[in-house]
Every structure is written in C-alpha cells, then in structure tokens.
Amino acid sequence: MGAALPPNRYNEHAWIVGEPEIGEGTWIGAFTVIDGSGGLRIGQGCDISSGAQIYTHSSVRRCVSGRRFREVERKPTSIGDHVFIGAGAIVLMGVSIGQGAVVGAGAVVTADVPPYTVVAGVPAQPIARVVLEADGRVSFLPLSG
C-alpha cells in the first residue's frame, strides 16, 4: 500500500509539507505540491490550480556533486494576495510573486514577478499587465515587445 499524503485543510489530494503560512480564502487544487520547508508565505484569496508546484528547497547541487555538497539548499518563497497560479505551473525556491499577478498554466517561475503582471512560458516571462477596472472588471493588456 502506498504512503498517505500528510493531512491538510485545503485539499485532501495536495501534498503540503513544512509549515507554510497560507492566507484566508486561498484555494489549493488537487495534485499540487506546496513545499513550506524553507519558509513559504501564500497570501489571502489566491487560487493555486491543480498540479501546480511551489518549492522552497533544491537538492540539485547536492545531487550533481555526488553528495560532496552536503546540504539541501532552502530559500523562502513569497506569493502575494490574490495571485492566480495556473495548472501545472512551477514556482522555484526564493521567488517572490507580487499581489494580483497571474502565472500561466505550465509556466516555470525562476525569477520574481512584479505585482499585477501576467507571466507565461519556460522560463516564465512577463506577457501582460493586469488592470483592475473601477466597475470590477479585469483586463489583461499585452506588453509591447
């Protein structure tokens, strides 16, 4: 029989490790990995889609050095309020995502994302700006290249 997922109050099919700080009203989809082992803050009102992965650690240097580099590196990761993270997106350790940002499905976020910015791709790059209208509508204005 396989190992059970650690219990969490967000989604019985999500893997949440460490002690992440998760804001009120945040929704976490199934089959996500939320790694709080290196310090993780997720703001309030965020939506983290199914299959997304958020990391605060990396063992790459330890692995490729044949374990001569002995430590698993850890850096805090921060996600602002009202951030949308698309299905299958990956957020790497040490990244900060600003309030109101959108991470496209399948994106790999390797660098900080400014507030109200849409990023997509591998590695994730800014592609649009989020504009909140006075009447509650939301617009996405493409960035000119």
For the chain, the straight-line distance linking the first and the last C-alpha, in angstroms and rounded, comes to 52
What are the tens digits of pLDDT across the range 95-109? 999 999 999 999 999
Band (11; pLDDT cuts 50, 70, 90): confident
Report the CATH fold assignment for 15-142.
UDP N-Acetylglucosamine Acyltransferase; domain 1 (2.160.10)
- Domain extent listing, the chain: 15-142
**DSSP class of residue 75?**
-
C-alpha Rg value of the chain to the nearest Å: 16
Lowest mean pLDDT among 7-11, 40-44, 71-75: 7-11
3-state secondary structure of 17: strand
